[in-house]
Amino acid sequence: MKITLAFLPAWLPLTPPLGITALGSFLKLQKVDIDLLDLNSEIHKNSHVPSLWDMEKAILWMKEKSYKNQVHPHIEDELKKSALKLAFSESRVIGFSIYSSNYRPTRIFIKLLRNLNKDLKIILGGPGINKAQVKRDIEEGLIDAAIFGEGEVATLNLLKFWEGNLEKKELGNVMLKVDDDIYESSTYPLMKMKEIPIPNFHQFNLANYYSEVLPIEFSRGCVASCTFCSETNYWVSFRTKSVDQIIEELKSGIQNHQVKSFRVVDSLMNGNMNLLVSLAERIIEEKLNIGWYGYCRINPKMTPEVLNLLKRAGCVNIMYGLETGSQKILDLMNKKVNVLDNYKVVIDTHKSGIGAEAEILVGFPGENIIDYFKTLYMLFRLRNHLNSVSTGSPMEVVRNSEVFDNSEKFGVRFLKSGWASKTYLNNHYTRQILFHFLNFYLTLIGIKQPYTLENISKGRA
């Protein structure tokens, strides 16, 4: 049974998408006939308004009204063309990778596919799905199944089940329609990282992306449990690849794809400091001569010695989730970080010659104007040490996060326009104002934003 794994906009087309590639590479090794389809980069390439893919525009893709009025008219024709091609391809199963920013176009795309070919089996997966919505989608006949969390083994076994080679009770991580009922399976144990094969990017034309960079995973999951974030819960537990496995994967990228730069897509690169240090030593020893970058958590163990070692191993940029300059908000976020360490680690990173980037989160519940100004002050103090600051989008209350699960405790109420604090002072509109002012302020103090397509085109990815 052939399967196409598809990825729809909007997602910055910096690198090929690792989610469907990791899944596809695993399935291929198990002799499944697969195709990977990055419609995100294709539609972006043909678009007259590529700036819609900027990070700060992600919100336009997420909200119903803005998507309908400001986004959909620009991609409608491309969606129709692609649906026509895919509906009658050899694939009988089409799987879609869902993130909050591609959820709406993907649903529309599935409706187009369904109208063209009723016999296709449609699966959803990825961090942007939730059980309640999936149940409704199955009931309405929009999709046939959805896989929650880690996708490799669950997808393989779902295909086996549909082929009649596996019992229903052997399924895992899945909700699907069986006869006229909706069946929800139990969960599978997590994969061992050594079972994850080297991703195969051969189906992608690397020239379609903004950077000659390949995504790579050193680990899955996170060691922290920040209250606004879903990543620890999504991946269930923190697991790392071995140094040997990572080195082999880096070499494969260099030899098979002629790439010298890697984006580490982990929740954090320094969840296991020993691994990071040993890996850096091996990269130097093996003279790989590569560049790599990714997220790190602020940790006093990122000493000048460690940072100098990472620099020598080719680490060019580290993105730190500083989030705020207020200790009160750091504590509410459960960052387990002292605000002074924000300063120290960023300054030491800059001194080592590695570019330091800060991620800032505007509008955490409980943040008041004084906390906000503490963030502005921190950014001002660090302006000569930060290469860039990413503001992403203002605080969203996301499923699988503690703020979502204990919204009462955080004083969060859900409204149509987004969430608001009990006093309504922190609401969608005030957050937008603070967010846009922050972006303006960053320009004023001379700090650039990393993820606007304009900046990326000027050579940063």
Rounded least distance, CB 297 to ligand SF4, Å: 4
- Two tokens at 407? 């919204």
Paired with 73 in beta bridges are none
Give me the 268-307 binding string for ligand SF4, x by CB under 6 A, dash otherwise: x----------------------------x----------
Q: Report the candidate in 83, 93, 92 with the shortest Cα–Cα distance to residue 115.
A: 83
| Burial class of residue 442, CB neighbours in 10 A (0-12, 13-18, 19+) | buried
Q: Which stretch binds ligand B12 (CB under 6 A): 71-79, 146-154, 279-287, 358-366?
A: 146-154
What is the smallest separation between the CB atom of 139 and ligand B12, expressed in angstroms? 19
Closer residue to ligand B12 (CB): 18 or 306:
18
Binding piece for ligand B12, criterion CB under 6 A, among 6-14, 107-115, 246-254, 336-344: 6-14
Structure tokens at 95: 């799987």
Using CB distances below 5 to 8 A depending on partner kind, what does residue 321 bind out of ligand B12, ligand SF4, none? ligand SF4
Tell me the closest approach of the beta carbon of residue 319 to ligand SF4, in angstroms.
10
Q: Is 418 left (phi over 0), alpha (psi -120 to 50) or beta?
A: left
- 392: region left, alpha or beta (phi > 0 left; psi from -120 to 50 alpha): left
112 binds ligand B12 (CB under 6 A): no
Provide the mask over 174-203, with x wherever binding to ligand B12 is found by CB under 6 A and - wherever it is not: ------------------------------
| Residue 297 or 374 having the CB closest to ligand SF4 | 297
The CA–CA distances, whole Å, from 409 to 188, 331, 360 equal 32, 14, 23
Structure letter (DSSP) for residue 365: T
Instruction: Report, in Å, the least distance between residue 194 CB and ligand B12.
Output: 15
Over the window 201 to 230, marking each residue x when it contacts ligand B12 by CB under 6 A and - when it does not, the resulting string is --------------x-x-----------xx
Secondary structure of the chain: what % helix, strand, coil (to 5)?
45, 15, 40
Could you say whether residue 145 binds ligand SF4 (CB under 6 A)?
no
Q: Are 264 and 272 in contact (CB under 8 A)?
A: no
Query: Which parts of 22-64 are beta strand (E)?
Result: 34-38
Should residue 127 be labelled a site residue for ligand B12 when binding is judged by CB under 6 A? yes
47 binds ligand B12 (CB under 6 A): no
CB 263 within 8 A of CB 216: yes
**HEC profile for 7-21?**
ECCCCCCCCCCHHHH
Q: How far is the CB of 440 from ligand SF4 (least distance, A)?
A: 25
392's contact among ligand B12, ligand SF4, none, with CB below 5 to 8 A by partner kind, is ligand B12
Q: Which does 152 bind (CB under 5 to 8 A by kind): ligand B12, ligand SF4, none?
A: ligand B12
SS3 145: strand
User: Is there binding between residue 44 and ligand SF4 (CB under 6 A)?
Assistant: no
Determine, following the binding rule CB under 6 A, whether residue 172 of this chain makes contact with ligand B12.
no
Site track 211-240 with ligand SF4 (rule: CB under 6 A), x = hit? -----------x-xxx--x-xx--------
Say if residue 154 is preceded by a cis peptide, omega within 30 of 0: no
Using CB under 6 A as the binding rule, whether residue 323 contacts ligand B12 is answered as no
Q: Which residues inside 58-97 make contact with ligand B12, applying CB under 6 A?
A: 58, 95-97
Cα separation, 42 vs 50, whole angstroms: 11
Q: 380-405 burial string, b = 16+ CB within 10 Å, else e? A: eebeebbbbbbbbbbbbbbbebbbbe
| Residues that bind ligand SF4 in the complex, under the rule CB under 6 A | 222, 224-226, 229, 231-232, 267-268, 297, 321
